[in-house]
Amino acid sequence: MSVCRMFGNTRHQVMLLLLSTLGWMIVAVTQSGAVSRCVDQACSPPIGNLASGRTISTLSSCSLLPHLCPEDVHPPAHMTDDPFLHPQTWWASGAGSTATQEQPDEIRLDLETRFCLSHVVLVFRSPRPSAMAIERSADSGKTWEPLQLFARNCSAEFGLPDDSLCTSRYTSATPCSGGEVILRTLDPSSAETRDPYSAATLARLTLTNLRIRLLKSQSCSAPSTPPTGRTSPTASPLTSTSTSENTTYAIFSLLAKGTCLCHGHAEHCVPYNSSQESQQDSNMVFGRCLCTHHTAGDHCEECAPLYNDRPWRPANGSSGEPNPCQKCECHGHSDSCHFSRRAWLSSGGTSGGVCDDCRHNTAGRRCQRCRHGYHRHLSLPLSSAHACTRCRCDQHGSLPPRPDEEGPWCHPRTGQCHCKPGVGGRSCSHCLPGYWGFGDKGCEPCVCPLSCDPNSGQCFDSYLDNQVFNVPIGGKIPDRDYLLPLEDVQWSKELAVSALHYTGKCSCKEKKLRSVSDLCKTKHDYVIKASVLCAHDKGSHAEVQVKVRKVFRSGQVALHPGTISIYPVSWTSRGCTCPILNPGMEYLLAGPEEAGTGRLLVTMQSVVAPWTPRLGLLISEGLRNGCSPSAGLCDGQTPEKCTINSKSMSQQTVQKQD
């Protein structure tokens, strides 16, 4: 073999050398243990020949015509072997006569998954076709799209002008051997190349199959002197460079340069399936990405299971921004989350993750609260596996759960159970002071001036022997930064839930509600129907939580049904609450608001009346007869007139009840 024959086509050899060397340099750098190129920036795997290591199929082969291939067999695999190690190998199609010059042939590369194609290079041993098409499929061969059409006459062959889709370039019969056909999927000067990971660019680059259709062969009229380049030393119908009846397609090499599709989130790829495991040391371009930036999937096309707090995005090839996925805050109670568009929009585009299958008896979008039947364990952080503990509610003293609920219900932060009337304690296990007869219906009120024995109902002369199950005076709530704000934090476990009990030394003369006219005479800022939930001694003042059932009047603060706090003023000066508010009881509450803060106060002039159906009827009648909620009860009426109306309403009520 002469040196001239092996290295004569200098331009082609240099081009292959540069492309191959560049690919190996990239692989060597990325596998040398250096810092990953994906750290805080977009990255991509090195480019290689997608045809290497894969099967190339054709419609015909010279091996099917042994009388035309006397010395060698020229299978399709010879198009993808190393041109430096095997310079005298090529693929040859079946030969034909002049009458069959328009008989098409086809070269097809089927990939196992999606890849990105950068360019295609064909080096012909025969004259280049006068018409051919390079096509791609992105759906495993179901549909095809032309990447480039080649024809000496685009209008005659394809009915198209000679423009970007169809070109007459690379269609000349000369050189008779060594002629190239080059396709670049993107114009280097176009805007699409600025960001190779954009949706528009990937729509142009992505493929699962490559098809090269050789539509019309042509003869070469050059002299019979063999051209420089890769040629066979023995003449044959396949090596003839002059016009002959035996015209065929022969191709030295096929390069389909590309890389695995990773959207800018990986710098290495591994075999897509187990059948490729043995080829890890070859030049094969593998199809499954080793994802970074907290992404996942064969092509890094989604976020990792616990990193869906914002939408997945490809990296930005123009700015280099990696656009990594963001971790969901599940407090260690979930291994995955999903993205919610509604949560994303409601957060103003800052967080959209919803934790999946919260463990350790937690619930909520971020596993931040305890599920039904459990409450927070105050001494443990929210991330603890034991942060939620089961509600311990007495089945006799607590209200039963709703039909759609399982197990006892307690406050998710405090653990306070919902007690029946007259029942108190954290677990609703005993009668409140002033009640007796603990049972399935709760406790009955004592019929005594002061209090009575909780078991027998026998009246006591004083409170000396009465066990007090109330909020202890003093104590301090420890700071817990990992919980909710201090005003909303749950109270200490030893704080019982009952009214702040007044002692025997406390003189408490409560204001009596004799008629609806009392509400008309006194300009109360608020009038509500509410049930008392619990109370808390905060040292300088007391705070009582109530659940508003109905709003008759609101002041500067708009009131709505739900849980709110009221503040007994008497606690500061007397050390007790006057009037008395017993948890589990419903009251008609009327009183002033604190100037500036709008807090609802309970003073000695406030109305605290146990709620009864008859009282509710009187209030409703009063509202319908002139005590407008917008103007205030009895606004615009004289006290005498309001009192008369109240008396008449009382008489009407008695008559209705009779």
Q: How far is CA 218 from CA 244, 272, 360, in A?
A: 10, 40, 75
Q: Which of 645, 493, 515 is nearest to 588 (CA)?
A: 515
Please give the Cα distance from 238 to 247 (Å, whole number).
8
For the chain, how big is the Rg over CA atoms in Å?
Answer: 44
pLDDT of residue 236: 42
Q: Which of 406, 438, 403 is nearest to 421 (CA)?
A: 438
| Token code pair at residue 331 | 């407090």
Q: Is residue 289 part of a domain?
A: no
Residue 606 belongs to a domain with what CATH number?
2.40.50.120
Please give the Cα distance from 226 to 592 (Å, whole number).
110
Give the pLDDT confidence of 59-82 residue by residue, as tens digits: 876 655 555 555 457 889 899 888
0.75 cut: is pTM over it? no
Please give the Cα distance from 59 to 143 (Å, whole number).
19
| Token code pair at residue 162 | 């000679």
Q: Which of 279, 295, 324 is the last residue of a domain?
A: 279
Q: Is residue 11 part of a domain?
A: yes
Give the pLDDT confidence of 353-389 residue by residue, as tens digits: 999 999 999 999 999 999 989 999 989 999 999 999 9
Per cent of the chain over pLDDT 70 is: 69
At residue 214, φ and ψ (nearest 5 deg) are: -90, 100
Give the pLDDT confidence of 393-438 residue by residue, as tens digits: 998 999 888 777 777 788 888 889 989 998 988 899 999 888 899 9
Q: Is residue 619 part of a domain?
A: yes
Lowest mean pLDDT across 97-101, 364-368, 504-508: 97-101
Lowest mean pLDDT across 86-90, 123-127, 460-464, 565-569: 460-464
The pLDDT of residue 164 is above 70: yes
Please give the Cα distance from 468 to 319 (Å, whole number).
70
Q: Is residue 650 part of a domain?
A: yes
Q: Which of 216, 197, 320 is nearest to 261 (CA)?
A: 197
Q: How many CA atoms lie within 13 A of 200 on its CB side?
A: 9
Number of domains in the chain: 2
Q: Which of 279, 304, 327 is the last residue of a domain?
A: 279
Q: How many CA atoms lie within 13 A of 477 on its CB side?
A: 20
Q: Is residue 508 part of a domain?
A: no
pLDDT of residue 630: 41
Q: Which of 233, 263, 279 is the last residue of a domain?
A: 279
Q: Is residue 504 part of a domain?
A: no
Range of the domain at 637: 517-657
Give residue for tokens 């009037």. Answer: 579
Q: Is residue 153 part of a domain?
A: yes
Q: Is residue 165 part of a domain?
A: yes
pLDDT of residue 323: 96
What does the DSSP assignment read for 515-572? Answer: STHHHHHS--SEEEEEEEEEEEE-SSSEEEEEEEEEEEE--SSPP-SEEEEEEETHHH
Residue 125 belongs to a domain with what CATH number?
2.60.120.260
The pLDDT of residue 520 is above 80: no
Give residue for tokens 């008395």. Answer: 580
